[in-house]
Structure 1
Amino acid sequence: MSSKRYAEAFKLEAVKQVIEYGQSVPDVAARLNVSPPTLYAWLRRYGVPMHARQTHDQQQAELRRLHAELKRVTEDHDNLKKGRSVLCQSVRVKYAFIEAHHGQWPIRRLCRVLNVHPSGYYAWASQPLSVRAEDDARMRRLISRSWLESGGVYGYRRITRELRELGEGCGKHRVARLMGQIGLQSAIGYLRHPGKDGKRPMQPPAYHQWHELSVSQPNMVWMIEVTYIRTYQGKLFVATVSDVFSRKVVGWSAEAAMSPELVLKALAMAVLRREPAPGVLVNFGQGSQFSRHDLRLFLRAFRLKAYISRRKDRHRNGIADGFSQYLQRERVRRKIYRTSEEARREVSDYVETFYNPMRRHRHTGGLSPDEYERRHFEKLNGLPRRHDASHL
């Protein structure tokens, strides 16, 4: 039986019969209708003097208090070990931590350790997402879709332009913050080490000066650049012809060897596609493939003007190297090509399906080359696409 059924005086009287009157425990237990173990427990409890019993009670209470304090300090220490990463975070992050660990420790203790009010946590638990948080979740989905559509290329600036065209009112800093939360970033190119080139610079056959600000329409200045792609079969050299006005690639070719035919095929494609008026200025870089006689004959046949830029011409290289950097950074660096034909298909897909119709450029105000030219011709109210560049 439980001792809680008996009064304090009853217990003292039972102990007195055993101690003072010398009666046996079984006899007293049977007479009082209690079990012997219960009576033995009363003897241990009340068989000592009053002052000794009070001292023992105080010691036991102090021991229980110390055990409870030790347990609280230990739990607080464990809370800090797990929650130290959120101590300096926002209140909502702390609420999420409490929600994830409230089964291990009391909620109020977690709130005290993280320095938040329990009422705030309970209000958050009833509605975890605010209007702003729900809008951020929606924006993260749009950002992820735009980033995937770009092939994992765009950074926060170009994605901001994409979202604004969709009618979303968002700033670039907010897009950068949301991209950081979901681990998205723009494509990063190769690390380039500065070096010196001691070769003798080429002399242009006919010097024609130009400036980017003077290029006010298509087919005025074309830029030729050559790069290469590594494959298991060797290098694949790629020559491209870009229109400085819109940065559009108007011609390209890919061959397994660096030869004058590589540049001639890219120029032939550009002439076939654009049908330019006489006087287009074609800008070359420093290289033997640009100094062949048959290339000069081609330029003369289609009345194109040649301009070979000086070595380390920052004004020219900043434009000409643009496409090569984009190609290497956004496609080539991410893949390993087994054959030259696989790399050639990659170049064709990048130029025709992404770079010209979709790739946004800062020079064009965040528009793709095709869209930039389309808007330019709309402003001309249907004027023909041929433009005379002989005044350069």
Structure 2
Amino acid sequence: MAGKRKVHTAEFKLSAVKMITEQKLSVAEVARRLGISENLLHTWKKAHAHKGADAFPGSGHQTPQEEEIRKLRAEVKRLEMERDIPKKSGGVLRQPVELIFAWIEGRKSEWPIVLMCRVLGVSRSGFYAWRSREPSAADTRREQLIDEVKAIHAEVKGRYGSPRIHAELVARGQECCVNFVAELMREAGIAAKTKRKFRQTTDSNHAMPVAENVPARAFDPDQPNAVWVADITYIPTREGWLYLAAVEDLFSRRIVGWSMDQTMTSRLVVDALEMALHRRPTLLGSSRLTHSDRGSQYASEHYQRRLREERITCSMSGVGQCWDNAPMESFFASLKKELVHHEDYATRDQAKASIFEYIETFYNRVRRHSALGDVAPDEYERTYNRTHR
């Protein structure tokens, strides 16, 4: 039997390496004792250092039963991959063959190339020919845009979908259509953050007087500070609820006042109003108006007295008519979808700092608003002020 190649089991290899690592014997000494080459031992030691026991998956002699089990497991794995490839490929099967090749290239670490080509109905030789060719101008342009989309998506912390990503690309000098941007985002697995279920916070079950709905869903005043909308929402933290009251200028959709506290009282909404009044001391004569829901905080004498003192007309939504205050609902939905639902606030103070950053550094100054032609509230107001001096 001289010259027959020795086959060592995983257990043998692992035991040999442990003689070096645990018994502190030299490689030469272990090789001499086991009758194997030092080079082989060095190879096993290096593999073990990188992968541990997983470096030796088992290469010893197998019984017929063990060999049959191995073959069955391999077949099950192959069938599972054939099942999963179409699931993961989504709509790529209906795309040009170049996109299928690109999809295969991006997932070659997940499945064998030959298997993906067969399951997706493309030739392996065609795939390798596609991979070896020089990228076309269109391919280069596509990759550049995907990189730009990824950069924008990271800058806005995943808060933009394809319409706002498209607007940002155009603002940066990249000419493209919104449908193409949506396609690129799907291809790259980029999506905007999503929203969760709505929770009701309005308590309109009170005996205090309520006001008429003056705007009647007319949400487009032609000048700043003519109509403000106000509302309250809740923020979950591990310490309990944090309540946020906000005031929004309908003209520019800018949040001009806000207040946060652990209780939902009239003080909360009055503090938000006071901030708005401090920031916008010059209101427009007879047209100034503040609209809210019918909650007890807004119907309270505390809040109503401040409106009277500032000669601001009060308006309130109809019973159960959330659309009467749709712009503020939209702001809260964006806040939850783009920030709150993706955070786990340990304390109320932590939540306050996070929400402050969102409102003052992102929403008012950076975030593109569809109702404003995809510009930020600050920029919209600056443009108006430049043309109405």
- 2:153 corresponds, among 147, 150, 163, to 147
Distance 1:259 1:114, change over 3 A: closer
Unaligned stretches of 5+ residues in structure 2: 1-77
Q: Map of 1:4-23 to 2, 5 A cutoff?
A: none
Counterpart-to-counterpart distance in 1, 2:99 and 2:277: 60
Q: Matches of 1:195 and 1:338 in 2, distance apart? A: 22
Matched, 1:338 2:346: yes
Match of 1:127 among 109, 125, 133: 133
- How far apart, CA to CA, are the structure 2 residues paired with 1:141 and 1:98? 17
Residue from 366, 381, 389 that aligns with 2:374: 366
> What is the match of residue 317 of structure 1?
325
* Rounded Cα–Cα distance in structure 1 between residues aligned with 2:307 and 2:99: 66
Aligned to 1:161: 167
Deviations along 1:94-127, one digit per CA (max 9) or x if unpaired, are: 66769979xx999xxx89x956596x66753542
Matched, 1:138 2:149: no
Q: Distance between the aligned counterparts of 1:296 and 1:183, measured in 2?
A: 50
Q: Deviations over 1:181-202 (max 9, x none)?
A: 2211111111248999994786
Task: Report the identity percentage.
Answer: 30
- Give the equivalent residue in structure 1 for 2:218: 212
Of the three residues 226, 237, 249, the one matched with 1:243 is: 249
Answering whether residue 300 of structure 2 is matched by residue 292 of structure 1, we say: yes
SS of the counterpart of 2:282? coil
Question: Pick from 166, 169, 172: which aligns with 2:178?
Answer: 172
Quick one: which of 255, 273, 280 aligns to 2:261?
Answer: 255
Superposition pairs of residues 277-288 of structure 1, within 5 angstroms? 277=283, 278-279=285-286, 280-288=288-296
Distance 1:218 1:128, change over 3 A: same
Contact 1:237/1:257 (8 A) holds in 2: yes
Q: Tell me how far apart the structure 2 counterparts of residues 256 and 114 of structure 1 sit (CA, whole Å).
A: 59
Please tell me whether the aligned partners of residues 201 and 310 of structure 1 are also in contact (alpha carbons under 8 angstroms).
no
User: Structure 1 pair 348/127, CA: closer, same or farther in 2 (3 Å)?
Assistant: same
CA distance in 2, matches of 1:155, 1:355: 15
**3-state SS of paired residue (1:263):** helix
**Offset at residue 238 of structure 1 (A):** 0.6
> What's the RMSD between the two structures over aligned residues?
3.5
Separation in 1, partners of 2:207, 2:150: 47
5 Å-filtered alignment, 1:88-99, equals: 88=93, 90-92=96-98
- 8 Å CA contact 1:246–1:373 kept in 2: the answer is yes
Cα distance in 2 between the residues matched to 1:105 and 1:288: 64
Of 265, 284, 309, 1:301 maps to: 309
- Measure how far apart 1:312 and its partner are: 2.8
Q: Is the 8 Å Cα contact of residues 91 and 116 (structure 1) preserved in structure 2?
A: no
The equivalent residue for 1:267 is: 273
SS at match of 2:353: helix
TM-score (norm 2): 0.67
- For the residues of structure 2 that align with 1:285 and 1:173, how far apart are their CA atoms? 37
| C-alpha deviation, 1:204, in angstroms | 2.2
Q: Secondary structure at the match of 1:212?
A: coil
Aligned pair in 2 of structure 1 residues 357, 182: CA closer, same or farther (>3 Å)?
A: same
AA in 2 matched with 1:235:
W
Aligned residue number for residue 282 of structure 2: 276
**Which residue is 2:383 aligned to?**
375
Q: For residues 98 and 237 of structure 1, do their structure 2 counterparts lie closer, same or farther at Cα, with a shift above 3 Å needed? A: closer
Partner SS, residue 237 of structure 1: strand
- Determine which of 347, 350, 370 is the counterpart of 2:355: 347
Per the TM alignment, residue 316 of structure 1 is displaced from its structure 2 partner at its CA by 2.0
What corresponds to 1:32 in structure 2?
A: none
**Alignment CA distance shift 1:167-1:177 (3 Å):** same
Query: Kindly tell me: are residues 123 and 183 of structure 1, through their superposed partners in 2, closer, same or farther at Cα, counting changes over 3 Å?
Result: closer
Change (3 A) 1:337 1:213: closer
Following TM superposition, by how much is the alpha carbon of 1:255 offset from its aligned partner in structure 2, in angstroms? 0.9
Shift of the alpha carbon at 1:173?
Answer: 1.3
Distance 1:209 1:136, change over 3 A: closer
Q: Which residue number in structure 2 is paired with residue 327 of structure 1?
A: 335
| 3-state SS, counterpart of residue 264 of structure 1 | helix
How many pairs align?
296
Structure 1 residue runs without a partner (length 5+): 1-77, 383-392
1:357 paired residue among 328, 353, 365? 365
